[in-house]
Structure 1
């Protein structure tokens, strides 16, 4: 289960932490200065996903990094074109003479286009960018698959789609078979769609397909995070394509409807447009986030009313 939490209070920058049930690590989306982002959140982060590097989305990278150096882990950073040089510039602005080379390793995945990702790795103390092999997919680990699309905000903004892996269980007490290594072999055969794989149980061989009926598959849920974007048709088409039928989406809703002209001028979205594109995308649960810092609490409540009116309209 994917469990997102916005770590920003009203009037703060945007930062979101994504937790997974029964999982010791988490993921961060954007590095705005957010007072509810904890040291533990930073230390337990496996990957950071940057939408773009406007100051309110990237200024707190230094503080996050501060709590990660020394973990001796590989941490992935994903973001738009030039993110590798920008991360390098941040890291090189400090002195690292007391830090060991293996204190941390950052892997930077720079999204060049919808199907090209350049990859680098960096480590202290010189933080040289070492090129790795390019990728055509963004991120996957044993729990999470992440896809993306590139939106227009007068600069590239990456919108991220997260999917928790399906959970595959077997009710062994309801079968006549004894537990054994065959259970994991059967699960792997199902995941890899290897119907003809031979599974041996108590010295008897079965085809994997003949045992698939024993498995109980719980579909992983999906989460979208859509930050700054112009409310125009090209962006909306991309949103509908990637986030159709998504379980939950957090979406930028920067302006009230009465400030629509400011939204257009600044390549942002506004309440009714964010709500409408969520409705047209058949999103099950949509959450407006990332409001202009000029608004007070009562005005943000009005944005939410306008958003849900458009989202729930039949």
Structure 2
């Protein structure tokens, strides 16, 4: 069964952190942190709909300019989320350029920028053709960890301590609609854009007794099916994927609890491992995790797979040692949990 998302690191573990999450069945992807993104093609970047920024240290935010440049003059709205002060950071970026010619653009590119506060989202919109001057309206929305909610997915955020607020994120698919190709063929149907409409109808909880119309190219007529019966015939519903992204967090009691709760039962946990455990005092002073701490958290959160990144350059050529330390810690926790069970 083909998964909905294929998350991957943008760079190697020693370079700027960040992951991209392409959507298998849509011309779309999401980005978590935006440091150096030169490894991403323009085609990759132009699929991005949402960008989630943990914090605005340069290695997590320097790629904003490349993203902005590629989207200029396009009909697109990009949603960006960051910690308190993020709106001011984005406005500072936008103020660095002259925008006297953008009024001539025919397309309507805009940025929707949101700050994640402890109990609210504060957002503003910026239109390219208005020289990126912000809308007068500042929108305040109450939220409880979930910062994005769509019919098929949600994104949650928690604030971690890195000396400044640093956001951890978790992308959760509600459930996965697997289309069984052999069943489609049995109904003399062909794959097409109707499959995406069908999935959206399921995600939207449409009335299962309603008609679902399928347009088959070249047939000259449409076919109608009962939505519920069609779902029984061609769809297999399975649990959705969960992807969690954690970077730049001190190993404190508060952070530990938040990370474990956010990452619980993730299919993929991307988690920083900046230092080896022999340098844990340095890691603590610099408000980062060690490889052993990353593996321990992954085990305690019962994740299926974890990927470490954001290695300190002092460990160049020592990648295998970092990986082994994290894996050993993960396996130790899993073993202890199995013994207790």
Normalised by the size of structure 2, how large is the TM-score? 0.79
Cα pair 1:109 1:138 within 8 Å, conserved: no
In structure 1, distance between residues paired with 2:5 and 2:196: 24
Where structure 2 has 5 or more consecutive residues not aligned to the other structure, the ranges are: 188-194, 213-225, 336-341
Aligned pairs for 1:230-269 (under 5 A) are 230-269=250-289
Number of the residue aligned with 1:134: 141
In structure 2, distance between residues paired with 1:23 and 1:87: 28
Number of the residue aligned with 2:315: 295
> In structure 2, which of residues 143, 146, 158 is the aligned counterpart of residue 149 of structure 1?
158
Aligned-pair distance for 1:103? 4.1
Number of the residue aligned with 1:24: 27
Where structure 1 has 5 or more consecutive residues not aligned to the other structure, the ranges are: 176-182, 202-206
Aligned-pair distance for 1:307? 0.6
- 1:220 is the counterpart of 2:220: no
SS state of the match for residue 44, structure 2?
A: helix
In structure 1, distance between residues paired with 2:308 and 2:280: 16
In structure 2, distance between residues paired with 1:296 and 1:147: 34
In structure 1, distance between residues paired with 2:229 and 2:42: 49
Deviations 1:205-244 (A, max 9, x none): xx98898755521332111111110111211111111211
The alpha-carbon distance between structure 1 residues 190 and 258, as it changes in their structure 2 partners (threshold 3 A), is same
Number of the residue aligned with 1:5: 8
Aligned-pair distance for 1:256? 0.8
The alpha-carbon distance between structure 1 residues 68 and 141, as it changes in their structure 2 partners (threshold 3 A), is farther
Cα pair 1:15 1:37 within 8 Å, conserved: no
In structure 2, distance between residues paired with 1:53 and 1:184: 36
Cα pair 1:12 1:34 within 8 Å, conserved: no
Cα pair 1:81 1:112 within 8 Å, conserved: yes
Deviations 1:108-129 (A, max 9, x none): 121011x411121111343233
Normalised by the size of structure 1, how large is the TM-score? 0.85
In structure 1, distance between residues paired with 2:178 and 2:22: 20
